Amino acid sequence: EIVLTQSPGTLSLSPGERATLSCRASQSVSSRYLAWFQQKPGQAPRLLVYGVSSRATGVPNRFSGSGSATNFTLTISGLEPEDFAMYYCQQYGTSPKMFGQGTKVEIK
């Protein structure tokens, strides 16, 4: 199975700052099947990015994904108040479709 490790565990930033979230895989993720999700307390996860770098419908362009093979990044170019939340990466190319443990983006 592919294990995903996200870092940092918590990111403390101010609105307007740039957030850089990392997701490292224990082996190469097949066919770029790497997604990022946002989750707020009491809500279901929301798909942000799939295929490493494609934004889901309705996702603002301040969210961007990049990377390849075993190293992936989600960048939020300028944090808006609604962006403070938990973020998870997931590989969906092979089962088990593991999630990373999450990065919390909190207000500094």
Partner 1 sequence: EVLLVESGGDLVRPGGSLRLSCAASGFIYSSYDMNWVRQAPGKGLEWISSISNSGITIYYADSVRGRFTISRDNAKNSLYLQMNSLKAEDTGVYFCARDRGPSDYWGQGTLVTVSS
Sites of contact with partner 1 (CB under 8 A)? 33, 35, 37, 39, 43-47, 50-51, 56, 86, 88, 90, 92, 95-102
Least distance (Å) between residue 83 CB and partner 1: 19
The CB density around residue 1, as the number of other CB atoms within 10 Å, is 11
Least distance (Å) between residue 103 CB and partner 1: 10
CA angle 40, 43, 49 (to 5 degrees): 65
Which residue, 18 or 43, has its beta carbon nearer to partner 1?
A: 43
Least distance (Å) between residue 68 CB and partner 1: 17
- 82: which strand partners? none
Which residue, 16 or 41, has its beta carbon nearer to partner 1?
A: 41
Confirm if 103 and 7 have CB atoms less than 8 A apart: yes
Q: Where are the beta strands (DSSP E) in the chain?
A: 4-7, 10-13, 19-25, 34-39, 46-50, 54-55, 63-68, 71-76, 86-91, 103-107
Least distance (Å) between residue 25 CB and partner 1: 15
Which residue, 9 or 16, has its beta carbon nearer to partner 1?
A: 9
